[in-house]
Amino acid sequence: MEYIYSALVLHAAGKQITEDAVSGVLKAAGIEADAAKVKALTASLEGVNIDEAIASAMVAAAPAAAPAAAAAPEAKKEEKKEEPAVTEEEAAAGLSALFG
């Protein structure tokens, strides 16, 4: 992941994503760069519009997250309904057991 993050840092800074630049970011972070991974990353990003890739990834993730977020409050309501009510007698019995 750190290789991808380094490319995103370079992109955000407006710099070109080259092997030397990615290696430099990784070195600055204290990570020993693997030359093969750096080369593969830069080759795979050639001709890719990173802004469009990020936007399409965010659009694809949004619909998947919406149903899960909508279902969460319903699950909490159901959990509250299932809790058994404690009567005063049961509470008193529990307290008497505590204090003898």
Q: Domain ranges in the chain?
A: 2-79
Q: What confidence category does residue 79 fall into, taking pLDDT thresholds of 50, 70 and 90? A: low
* Spatial contact of 4 and 41, defined as CB atoms under 8 Å apart: yes
- Name the pLDDT band for 92 (thresholds 50, 70, 90): low
Distance of alpha carbon 53 from its chain centroid, rounded?
17
Output the pTM of the full model: 0.59
pLDDT score of 64 more than 70? no
Fold of 2-79: Arc Repressor Mutant, subunit A (1.10.10)
> How big is the CA angle at 58 (ends 53 and 61), to the nearest 5 degrees?
125
Name the more confident of 18 and 75: 18
Q: Give the model's confidence band at 62: pLDDT under 50 very low, under 70 low, under 90 confident, else very high.
A: confident
